[in-house]
Amino acid sequence: MTGLLACISEVFGRMLDIGPLHRAEYEVDKSEQVVIAEAPGRLYFLGEHGEQGAGFYLASAINRTVQVAVSPRKDNSLRFYASDLGERKRTTLVNLKYKREDRWANYIKLAIHLFSKLGYSVKGLNFSVVGDIPQQAGLASSTAIEIAAAAALKSFFKAPLSDKELILALIKAEEEFLGREMVNPVDFLVALNAKKDHLLLVDEKNLEVARIKSPFSRHRMILMDSRVPRAGVEEELKQRREDTRRGLKLLEKRRAGGSFRDYIPADLLESMGDLREEIRRRSLHIVEENQRIREAAAALEKGDLEDLSRIIYHSHESLRDLYEVSCPEIDWLVKRAQEIEGVAASRMTGQGFGGCTYTILKESALEEYNKRLEDYERIFGFHPLSYDIRPAAGVRVIAKG
């Protein structure tokens, strides 16, 4: 395919063969151990702006990955190499800490921190990383580095960790090493449970995942990066999270419940006099999105694409009108896609205020979809980037020697 729908690899460049690359960089003899692990990117179909700590999600891993290779050193140095960036970083276990300027290497350092805290004897190690997950597109590219590094080290140390134990250790490591609060485990759950051609229903509160066969085997999935500049996103999202926390507290005063999943839209209508309008709207989005995800699960089980399409469109409308994280450019892309015969669904995905849409469409609709993208660039002045994606398998170790 040519033009705007060309497949673009943009995290560290095109995927390279990491094994020979790693051995050449560190002069590793063929007789020495090299462990390589691969972790996928992630796409949210529904649910990413839900209740912190208790959200429901419809997601999948995607066929864009990061690979991390690790091998032992004879000294106590920790070395990191991103070949496509031409960047090298180094530290030692004694000096292991987050440094903003180390960017991608921080996620490998986090995995080292994890296994050190678990009591494994971390000495000198070499790391290399390559990948083709688009950056700044809401596809969990940095989390994929973290999970691939953790999986590689788990194999390297022959650590008998269950998936749940690894997830809990990753959450704790993010809190300690990155200083994060309310770490969302969903990306870890997706990476560890993903299966080719399957969608995942994720319950963040209970760390549970259900796989459902994707009904879109005869469709294409196009991720569209709008290229809209985004500024102040974190502050906007922080305010919305605060609004929803206040909304939940007010709901709990009227009727007992520990989470938005315990309420229905009628509860918010009854509370209109007690809630500021923006708090009511944000809270209503979460309550209705929870219901939409339950309905989506039922539609997927029945193979009802028409109902699933309706649910996805309504979710975008709610993100636009209630949670208010969309923007004119994203709304234009979704609206124009909806108008094309052969498009099954289209919606924004990720943090919002720009960013990406995903569109699920038949092959026959690609030409018309491409024309709309040309109109988008002419109208808004941004050159969008397109990625052809599909639901893929999760994290795996691909070499152990």
Residue 187 is among the residues annotated as catalytic for this protein: yes
Helix, strand, coil percentages in the chain from 3-state DSSP, rounded to 5: 40, 20, 35
H/E stretch holding 278: helix 277-302
- Is-contact 62 139, C-beta < 8 A? yes
Q: Give me the amino acid identity at 298.
A: A
CA distance 326 to 351: 9
Q: Of residues 84, 187, 225, 243, which has the active-site annotation?
A: 187
| Order of all β-strands in the sheet with 356-361 | 343-349, 356-361, 220-225, 385-389
CA distance 107 to 102: 9
CA distance 58 to 296: 8
- Is-contact 44 293, C-beta < 8 A? no
- Using CB atoms within 10 Å of the CB of residue 105, give its burial: 0 to 12 exposed, 13 to 18 middle, 19+ buried: buried
183's CB contacts (< 8 A; 6+ apart) are: 171, 174, 175
Nearest to 25 by CA among 113, 99, 88: 88
Query: What is the 3-state secondary structure of 115-184?
Result: HHHCCCCCCCEEEEEEECCCCCCCCCHHHHHHHHHHHHHHHHCCCCCCHHHHHHHHHHHHHHHCCCCCCC
Tokens 């892309």 locate to 333
Give the catalytic positions in this structure: 187
